[in-house]
Structure 1
Amino acid sequence: MPESFTDTPLLTARFDAALHYATRHHARQLRKGTPIPYAAHILAVASLVLEMHGDEDEAIGALLHDVVEDGGGRPALAEIEAAFGPVVAALVAANSDTLDPKDDNNDGGAGWYARKRAYLGGFTSRSPAALRVSLADKVHNARAILLDYRTLGDEIWARFGQGQGLATRVYYRELAVAFERERERLGPAAQPYVDELRRTVDAITALAETHQGRDSRTLFDA
């Protein structure tokens, strides 16, 4: 089959500018516990959003989704709104656990749980576009966790400041449930990725059972 082309490219100079902004912001950042440049993650998330038939604003939101949370804070959000518009800024805000990065910690403590519960609690009020960006982010993160768990075993959880990784596994199971509830709002092209997240999360759970036995908790309140 011959290649397909369009007379009106989906991605414009705005996307190019956002890519430059994102790679500049994350230039020195690596994926937790790896030598992988953080740019690999934001490129993967943008790619997944486009595969879900997201528009340019969503693709830009995917590139910038971690800028605020990973050190930029509210000043970066204001910059994003000025440069890329309120729609993109809203997507980034909706996909930030916190607008105040000093709050951040990954150890599964009380503050971590509060942020994760708040993030999950906002699913019903998020736009389909914001949910697609979130789904792309979580699918890529879950795939990376599963691949490295298969390779490294339980030592992977040290990246998250967690001895046995239970908090992270529970959170991803909660995410899978939350996306399943919003499945219809995500649109037909995104729905296979809801299934992909479920398969990946279930594989992480199954692998943890081989290493640790059955988890003591299934979901946050169960």
Structure 2
Amino acid sequence: MSILKAIEFSACAHLGHFRKGSKVPYITHPFLVAKILAEAVDPETNEALISAGLLHDTVEDTVTTIETIREEFGEEVAVLVASDSENKQLSWEMRKQNTIDFLKNEATRDMQLLACADKLANIRSIKEDYEKIGDAVWDIFVRGKEKQGWYYKGIVESLAPLAGLPMYTELSQLTKEIFD
């Protein structure tokens, strides 16, 4: 029930939003994150994690508050969503460094799984866009290839406890392929 509710909630929250530099509806990203998570864990026993995958950008990118997530989906989902949400008041570099440090030093395994699925979905999109438009892909981002490479390499290092999981292996391989 919670996953179905999260699908509906996320779809409504992201209605009219599109992926950076495209006309692809934004909801495709949370759906892909949830799919990656569902392939990595048992959906029946990890409903909160998959729901968080569907909701992970609602607080960061819509008017949804963490309090609303808590009221609608419970504390466990709210904590996971909060763990994958950045403070947009900070500079890009500071936000990304905070994410790297948090994932390395404080995050639970579920928080790491959520972040890994999110970053894997993002880097798959980068690869797909790169294959279509080449180096122009870096113009879509706040920071270019060098800074993105620094960030993704830091993420891969921080998520090393997930080594052996297919999603971590793919994230690591795509990071090397794109940034080395």
Contact 2:56 2:81 survives alignment (8 Å): yes
**TM-score, scaled relative to structure 2:** 0.92
How far residue 205 of structure 1 moved from its aligned partner, in angstroms, is 1.6
* Aligned AA (1:125): E
In structure 2, the partner of 1:202 is 176
2:34 & 2:162 partners in 1: Cα distance?
20
Contact 1:146 1:203 survives alignment (8 Å): no
Is 1:147 matched with 2:135?
A: no
Q: Percent identity?
A: 28
User: Could you list the runs of 4 or more consecutive aligned residues of structure 1 that deviate by over 4 angstroms after TM superposition?
Assistant: none
Is 1:37 matched with 2:25?
A: yes
Contact 1:68 1:76 survives alignment (8 Å): yes
Query: Which one has more relative contact order, counting CA pairs under 8 Å at least 6 apart?
Result: 2
2:98 to 118, 121, 136: 118
Q: How many residues matched? A: 176
How far residue 147 of structure 1 moved from its aligned partner, in angstroms, is 1.6
For structure 1, which runs of at least 5 residues remain unmatched after alignment? 1-12, 105-110, 207-222
How far residue 193 of structure 1 moved from its aligned partner, in angstroms, is 1.4
RMSD: 1.5
The 5-angstrom pairing of residues 59-138 of structure 1 reads 59-72=50-63, 76-98=65-87, 101=88, 103=89, 111-123=91-103, 124-138=105-119
How far residue 97 of structure 1 moved from its aligned partner, in angstroms, is 1.3
Contact 2:37 2:114 survives alignment (8 Å): yes
For structure 2, which runs of at least 5 residues remain unmatched after alignment? none
* Aligned AA (1:143): R
* Aligned AA (2:159): F
Contact 1:33 1:159 survives alignment (8 Å): yes
